[in-house]
Amino acid sequence: MKLPESFFETIFFFIQLSLIFGSLGIVLLNDIVYSAFLPGFVSACISLSYLLLDSDFVAAAQVLIYVGAINVLIVFAVMLINKKQSDNKLFLFWTLGDGITSTICIGIFLLLSNVISNTSWSKIFLVVESNKNERLMSIDHIRRIGSELLTEFIIPFELMSIILLIALIGAITLARGEQVRILEKKILQNKK
């Protein structure tokens, strides 16, 4: 069934809008549980964007890796942390580091917006030979993605794995630190 182009644009608009609001929720909400579940929502929105762009393999990989593995790991680490609930006020504690970080993020956003708006997207074409069948083309695209990840994009690929490893170690350290504090409080209460 062939659907009109405006239908796809409307769906794409709502997906991108929910992606933006989910990303803002990760940063602005003080409740750590919401901040842990929202990356899964954002990753699912990114996966839906890939589906709309006819990139089925990348959409499936997005769901399996980010929603299925990494977000579950983040939620598991957050559930181990025994953090007391704070008030749900936005911008509860603004420090100098928060100001510097927000300035850097706004600068990166403006730089990326400038690059995106100045790119002539009409000159970017995907050349596909018409005589190959769909299955061979999709296998060829998957091989090409794997080849590009392990040749041209190997440094960003490895840096992402290092960042994920650092996040995992940080989550485990936070969880263990909370458990040690709970044990220390119990020992002190038993001595009294």
Residue 67 lies in a domain: yes
The 8-class DSSP code of residue 94 comes to: -
Give the CA radius of gyration of the chain. 22
* Structure-token pair, residue 102: 């927000």
Residue 73 lies in a domain: yes
Terminal Cα-to-Cα distance of the chain (whole angstroms): 74
The domain boundary, picked from 53, 82, 111, lies at 82
CA 149 vs. chain centroid, Å, equals 18
51-64: burial string, b at 16+ Cβ within 10 Å, e else: beeebeebbeebbe
Residue 174 lies in a domain: yes
**Domain limits for position 72:** 1-82
pLDDT in tens, the chain (192 residues): 466 778 888 898 999 999 999 988 888 887 777 888 888 899 899 999 888 887 888 888 888 888 777 777 777 777 776 665 555 555 555 677 778 878 888 898 898 888 878 876 666 554 344 444 455 555 677 778 778 777 887 787 787 778 777 777 777 777 666 666 676 777 777 776
- Say how many domains are in the chain: 2
Residue 169 lies in a domain: yes
The domain boundary, picked from 82, 106, 122, lies at 82
The 8-class DSSP code of residue 62 comes to: I
The CATH code of the domain that includes 77 is 1.20.120.1200
Residue 57 lies in a domain: yes
CA 120 vs. chain centroid, Å, equals 27
Residue 136 lies in a domain: no
Residue 98 lies in a domain: no
Residue 35 lies in a domain: yes
The 8-class DSSP code of residue 130 comes to: T
pTM to 2 decimals? Answer: 0.53
Q: In terms of residues, how long is the chain?
A: 192
